[in-house]
Structure 1
Amino acid sequence: MSSAPILSAVPAAAVLPRHVAIIMDGNGRWAKARHLPRAAGHKAGVEAVRAVTRAARAMGIEALTLYAFSSENWRRPAEEIGDLMGLLKFFIRNDLAELVRENVRLRVLGDYRRFAPDVVALVDDGLARTAGNTGPILAIALNYGAQAELAAAARRLAERLPPERIDEAAIEAELETRELPPLDLLIRTSGEQRLSNFLLWQAAYAELLFVDTLWPDFGAAELAQAVAVFGGRQRRYGGL
């Protein structure tokens, strides 16, 4: 699919979200519908990641955050976790040069150091090689849980500040998204309508969009459509 009709789906005067986050859901159901193993769905999901990250850069979105592995995903079978780690390594090895070339800043949310040493080394290399970049941010949530993030922030603040000095700004400064713009749009694919412990604080005034499309089928055109929906909404932040 060529990029021209995709990008034309977003009018030039459309209001772009600065920061988009996506709960990438539906790989397993995509594979099941095609009588394929779940690993095939995850592999197709990586292709969707590649298409969506490129489209987000082309649109001018400043930050894209992808929920790749939650702190609850450790409950999945060991074989599936191994498949997911293998695809993470595949993505970094094959796409890191492009991220460096395109001036993308790679960021990680979550405690990725719980992963195997070879995965940690690849993530560390990706972070180091993009540290000096100044362009759009690609944040990957790895072993991330929003409740744990908030609890850790509260513990750090309690060690340093008296209770009366702990306000919203102090908490936001401790969150793992502190380098990112405020979250504007949160998308979940596959028809599920829940946040699944993802960016709970950050989503307080984000626009939420739940789409039926399974993640491997979500590409540049679907992102453009989501951005167009965002542009048509009126954000009041509690006002009139």
Structure 2
Amino acid sequence: MNPLNHVAIIMDGNGRWGLKNKNSRNAGHKAGLKTIEKIIKVSLDNKIRHLTLYAFSTENWKRPIKEINYLFNLLEKFLYNKIDNLNRNKIKLKVIGFKKFSVKLNQLLLKSEKLTRNNKSLQINLALNYGSKLELINAFKILKKKNKAFTENNLKKFLLTKEIPDPELLIRTGNTKRLSNFMLWQIAYTEIFFEKKLWPDFNEKDFLQIINSYKKIKRNFGSVS
């Protein structure tokens, strides 16, 4: 059985779900929050140490401003209402990305990180304004500025995930088979599962089925068994 310490998820399909069921993309984003809570519970129950959620990419700024504002308002409300509960459950919140938000949201994110920084049961890595290409370019610029050798180990020290183990498992919902500029360096040997369900329809049973399937995979990492 393969160990599972880090699951990364591309939560795709909220907008499509909202249009299909409520005639509103925003309704899909709101429904997707309920799925996040379900997945957090399963992660805790299965002693998964890291859960990375791709919440907003560097490319998502191309969306309508009303939708962007709604997403960030949802995030603010989620943190206001849930951060104390996350803290009680010993969950640590870590934001990975290039912070480019309102003063209010930046302060709230910082406060949430500080409140939960010593928690050990589960670390939720919230990928906000995250893009893997920008992350790599940024790391290379730091290497050059510090006059460090361009090696794999040195590069990893300046990634946004420098203190986070690479994910063993990546799940993308929404019946879309692409990586969308997400953790391109970190998932070199990650097992990838593409799920047909839209994110708000993804449930605990679906997650557990994928976990169980992952644990049965023979992982050689380039070697021959």
CA contact (8 A) 1:16 1:227 kept: no
Amino acid aligned to 2:135:
E
Shift of 1:15: 3.1
1:19 is aligned to 2:6: yes
CA contact (8 A) 1:26 1:215 kept: yes
Counterparts of 1:158-197 in structure 2, within 5 Å, are 158-162=144-148, 165-197=149-181
Normalising by the residue count of structure 2, what TM-score does the alignment of the two structures yield? 0.96
Runs of 4+ off more than 2 Å: none
Shift of 1:119: 1.0
Once residues 34 and 81 of structure 2 are traced to their aligned partners in structure 1, the CA distance between those partners, rounded to angstroms, is 11
Which residue in 2 is equivalent to 1:65? 52
Which residue in 2 is equivalent to 1:206? 190
**How many residues align structurally?**
224
Q: Which ranges in structure 2 are unaligned for 5 or more consecutive residues? A: none
Deviation string for 1:137-157 (max 9, x for gaps)? 100000000000000000001
Q: Secondary structure at the match of 1:138?
A: strand
Of Structure 1 and Structure 2, the greater helix share is in 1
Once residues 56 and 45 of structure 1 are traced to their aligned partners in structure 2, the CA distance between those partners, rounded to angstroms, is 17
Amino acid aligned to 1:120:
N
Deviation string for 1:139-191 (max 9, x for gaps)? 000000000000000000111235xx321111111111111122101110011
Q: Secondary structure at the match of 2:71?
A: helix
Which residue in 1 is equivalent to 2:106? 120
Once residues 147 and 41 of structure 2 are traced to their aligned partners in structure 1, the CA distance between those partners, rounded to angstroms, is 42
Deviation string for 1:96-137 (max 9, x for gaps)? 01111111111111012x111111111011001011223321
1:55 is aligned to 2:42: yes
CA contact (8 A) 1:31 1:41 kept: yes
Once residues 90 and 50 of structure 1 are traced to their aligned partners in structure 2, the CA distance between those partners, rounded to angstroms, is 14
Once residues 153 and 233 of structure 1 are traced to their aligned partners in structure 2, the CA distance between those partners, rounded to angstroms, is 32
1:217 is aligned to 2:204: no
1:30 is aligned to 2:24: no
Once residues 153 and 86 of structure 2 are traced to their aligned partners in structure 1, the CA distance between those partners, rounded to angstroms, is 31
Once residues 165 and 45 of structure 2 are traced to their aligned partners in structure 1, the CA distance between those partners, rounded to angstroms, is 18
The correspondence for 1:143, drawn from 129, 132, 136, is 129
Q: Secondary structure at the match of 2:184?
A: coil
Identity over aligned pairs, percent: 39
Q: In terms of mean alpha carbon deviation, does 18-27 or 128-137 score higher?
A: 128-137
Normalising by the residue count of structure 1, what TM-score does the alignment of the two structures yield? 0.90
